[in-house]
């Protein structure tokens, strides 16, 4: 790698539903972030569900989607199924966080989200991610890769995307360690590192701290201090 070339860290991720806090640390640590909506949907994955904290403990919120006969469909082609899920998700969020210190600051956005009809899963997820990114103050630009074609699968695909986006380094999620071939990054002249996610405890409702919930949990509880918490800083005194 050319030592004089400025470093440009690329991070990639599927557009997931109400992402957990580590998703936004990954985004904040990158110089450019691209969404992989052109890969296959994984059933019962973070792409369609996430957890919030209720008085009874963690609760899954799952978006129903059409999957019958669509085993190989790409994320961008997944349609949201009909049903009362929007009301259920809105009510669960309101019942769980109505007394959180900063709920009122952001509640209107979520009321609007769940008041709309959504045809495509990717549009719902990207809208939520963009709102959360703005509330948290994450300034990393999202790169639009629509219309671009990339070669390969797994590591080869990631390397090709990084090169096409002018990257010099790739920031991996910890879960990618199962298939990342580091030697391919080295051969391409790219640095590669892992996020190394460790959740920082912060004040929550309903008892002991539960890690790795949707980022709305830290947002409603910590408000403007949320990004500092996500980046590893202990929460300040109220």
What whole-number distance in Å separates Cα of residue 7 and Cα of residue 189? 12
pTM exceeds 0.75 for this model: yes
Residue pLDDT, tens place only, 101-118: 999 999 999 999 999 999
What whole-number distance in Å separates Cα of residue 92 and Cα of residue 98? 10
205 against 148, higher pLDDT: 205
Question: For the chain, what are the domain ranges?
Answer: 9-230
Q: How far is CA 75 from CA 15, 48, 124, 232, in A?
A: 8, 10, 12, 31
- Give me the pLDDT at residue 126, please: 96
Residue pLDDT, tens place only, 81-93: 999 999 999 999 9
Q: Which two tokens stand for residue 5?
A: 């070339």
Q: By the 8 A CB rule, do 90 and 77 touch? A: no
Percentage of the residues of the chain whose pLDDT score is greater than 70:
97
Query: Is residue 238 pLDDT above 50, yes or no?
Result: no
In 10 A of CB 99, how many CB atoms? Answer: 10
């Amino acid at each position: 790698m050319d030592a004089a070339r400025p470093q440009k860290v690329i991070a990639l991720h599927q557009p997931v539903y109400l992402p957990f806090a580590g998703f936004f640390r990954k985004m904040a640590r990158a110089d450019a972030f691209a969404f992989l909506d052109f890969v296959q949907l994984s059933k019962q994955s973070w792409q369609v569900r996430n957890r919030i904290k209720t008085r009874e403990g963690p609760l899954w919120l799952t978006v129903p989607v059409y999957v019958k006969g669509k085993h190989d469909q790409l994320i961008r082609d997944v349609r949201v199924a009909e049903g009362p899920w929007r009301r259920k998700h809105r009510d669960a969020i309101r019942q769980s966080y109505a007394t959180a210190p900063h709920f009122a600051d952001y509640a209107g956005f979520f009321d609007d989200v769940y008041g709309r009809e959504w045809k495509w899963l990717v549009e719902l997820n990207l809208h939520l991610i963009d709102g959360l990114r703005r509330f948290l103050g994450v300034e990393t630009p999202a790169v639009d890769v629509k219309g671009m074609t990339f070669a390969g699968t797994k590591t080869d695909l990631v390397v090709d995307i990084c090169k096409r986006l002018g990257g010099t380094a790739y920031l991996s999620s910890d879960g990618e360690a199962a298939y990342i071939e580091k030697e391919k990054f080295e051969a391409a002249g790219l640095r590669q590192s892992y996020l190394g996610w460790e959740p920082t405890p912060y004040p929550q409702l309903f008892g002991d701290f539960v890690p790795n919930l949707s980022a709305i949990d830290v947002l409603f509880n910590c408000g403007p201090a949320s990004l500092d918490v996500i980046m590893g800083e202990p929460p300040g005194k109220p």
